Amino acid sequence: MLTVNAYAALSATEPLAPTTIERRDVGPKDVLIEIRYAGVCHSDIHAVRGEWGQLTYPQVVGHEIAGIVAEVGSEVTRYAVGDRVGVGCMVNSCRKCENCLAGLENYCLAGFTATYTGLDRDGTITQGGYSTHVVVVEDFVLRIPDAISLEKAAPLLCAGITTYSPLAHWNAGPGKKVAVVGLGGLGHLAVKVAHAMGAEVTVLSRTLAKQDDGLAFGAADYRATADPDTFTELANTFDLIINTVSANIDVDAYLSLLRLDGTLVSVGAAPEPLPVSVVSLVGNRRSFTGSTIGSISETQEMLDFCAEHSIVPETELIAAKEINEAFDRVLSSDVRYRFVIDIATLA
């Protein structure tokens, strides 16, 4: 076992604090990664505060991991010491169900093994990327292209794939009108990716406070949803709407913005059920659906796409000791647009 430094939640109510955790020995198919950077996702906050179910503490979170291969198992063929790699939201799956066999591990019927709070193959609880090292089976390790710095790559492993996957699946591209709800950690990447795919992008945000940023990221239009005229003027406009916010929204109002056969996709997880009128769906054959991260192959595709199109997140680098302050700032929307922890400050 390898003892490593980490920042962990000790309970649902206490601040995160420095500690040490154990990583399993490197098995034949495992990769030991020296973590250089870890992104801070809103999901990390939900998890440590017990908002998505009871946890076993101490718990280390973080599923936007970028680093360097430090050791490989005897049967590893894809990676070598010194390679630039990343780990996203999952570190294993059943490998046997219909979805896994189709290469869609993120929809594993048994539930994929989450990078943190998951039940690992040895019966332990997985611990995430707010730590100096992690051991992951090679099939769930991603290669980070040289064109993307490790610092910028980290948020792509969650925020990037979470938005790329629905945009690719619903064929965002030339001739398509795409709206992005919310311009936060996910939303700003959705705008950049959709624009690079060739779609005409509109940002739908509560106010116009980030309008200049949205237009700079590639949006052709930026509208305030607090203005009721927005929903009147944009009725029957979009082929695809990506909802990136985790707050409750008026689903019927957003469905009214879709043209015939348009789709509203939620990637943000609202805390309460979202009511929807069937009339909003049948009138223009609209769809309301959801999407979660992406498969390993699609995540690699996303990284390569971002490298090709020079897409990187807007980040603010912080030291490990600033994690609790960063959590508070995320909750108050005081970040443009993703915090990234310099793991060297944990060493």
Q: What is the pLDDT of residues 108-140, one digit of tens each?
A: 999 999 999 999 878 899 999 999 999 999 999
Other C-beta atoms lying within 10 Å of the C-beta of residue 205: 23
User: Is residue 303 assigned to a domain?
Assistant: no
Same domain, 151 and 165: no
What b/e sequence results for 76-105 when a residue is b if at least 16 CB atoms lie within 10 Å of its CB, and e otherwise? beebeeebbbbbbbbbbbeeebebbeeebb
- The span from the CA of 100 to the CA of 323, in Å, is 35
For residue range 234-267, what is the model confidence (pLDDT) as tens digits?
A: 999 999 999 999 888 999 999 999 999 999 999 9
Answer yes or no: are the C-beta atoms of 193 and 167 closer than 8 Å.
yes
Let me know whether 72 and 26 are in one domain.
Answer: yes
Q: How does pLDDT run across 173-204, given as a tens digit for each residue?
A: 999 999 999 999 999 999 999 999 999 999 99
**Could you tell me if 29 and 120 lie in one domain?**
yes
Angle at 98 (CA atoms; ends 97, 99), nearest 5 degrees: 95
Whether residues 230 and 118 fall in one domain: no
For residue 283, pLDDT over 90 is answered with no
Share of the chain above pLDDT 70, in %: 100
Do both 25 and 133 map to the same domain?
Answer: yes
Looking at residue 271, its pLDDT comes to 72
Tokens of 169: 């699946």
3-class state of residue 342 by DSSP? strand
169 and 150 co-located in one domain: no
The number of folded domains in the chain is: 2
**Which residue segment(s) compose the domain that 29 sits in?**
2-158+312-346
Residue 217 and residue 238 share a domain: yes
What pLDDT sits at residue 273?
86
Q: What CATH number does the domain containing 189 carry?
A: 3.40.50.720
- Identify whether 181 is part of a domain: yes
- Judgement on whether residues 110 and 53 belong to the same structural domain of the protein: yes
Q: Are residues 234 and 323 in the same domain?
A: no
Count of alpha carbons within 13 Å of 127, Cβ hemisphere only? 28
Residue 56's φ and ψ, nearest 5 degrees, are -100, 120
Tell me how far apart the alpha carbons of residues 212 and 190 are, in angstroms, rounded to a whole number: 16
